[in-house]
Chain A
């Protein structure tokens, strides 16, 4: 079946503008994760959704970041008033039940460049 998809694949924006990044998880997967990968770095965990439960937002880097997941499926990560340090690849992953031994399947990422 289809894997995790993300859109847009690339986004260039001006400092101060808002951006929305979208993630479509694998159908039937209840757990969804957002990560950020800065150039040449590992992945930084941002937020995690399990079903319809309210997520813990403490991993988000600042209050300019927010995320929601509608209907337990599609998720959007919104960055308000973007800054140059927000430039990174934003990766989304999903897993079936969110258990500790489950493999996460990653999307191709959205490459964000803030000028």
Chain B
């Protein structure tokens, strides 16, 4: 069963505008962590933002914010004031318990294109 769902294979946004990348997740655990990573064409995975399941406030990191709606099991990433350098693949991920620790499940990703 799909644990992390990103329904937007590709998104376009005009430079300087805000964009929301969708992510829904499925878990029966009460304690979990949600992450967003950026993967530019160079291939590196860059950590953007983290939201803990018990955090009551939405996480923010600079131009990135996470719209966490626990009851709906959604963790959408909002990028404000898009820049050309934001063009990349974006992955939503969830940490879940695993033998002796935790593993991270990734969504299929959303490719963001920022237009000048």
Interface residues of A (CB under 8 A from B): 31, 33, 35, 41-45, 48, 50, 53, 55-56, 58-59, 89, 91, 93, 98-101, 103-106, 108-109, 111
Binding stretch for chain A, among B12-20, B44-52, B71-79: B44-52
Output the least CB separation between B46 and chain A (Å): 8
Output the least CB separation between A63 and chain B (Å): 18
Closest 9 CB pairs of A and B: A56-B99, A106-B45, A43-B106, A42-B106, A98-B101, A42-B108, A50-B101, A100-B102, A100-B95
Counted as pairs of residues, one from A and one from B, with CB atoms less than 8 Å apart, the total is: 70
Contacts A103-B35, A103-B50, A104-B47 known; 15 new A-B pairs at CB < 8 A: A31-B101, A42-B106, A42-B107, A42-B109, A43-B91, A43-B106, A45-B104, A50-B100, A55-B100, A56-B99, A56-B100, A100-B33, A101-B33, A103-B47, A108-B43
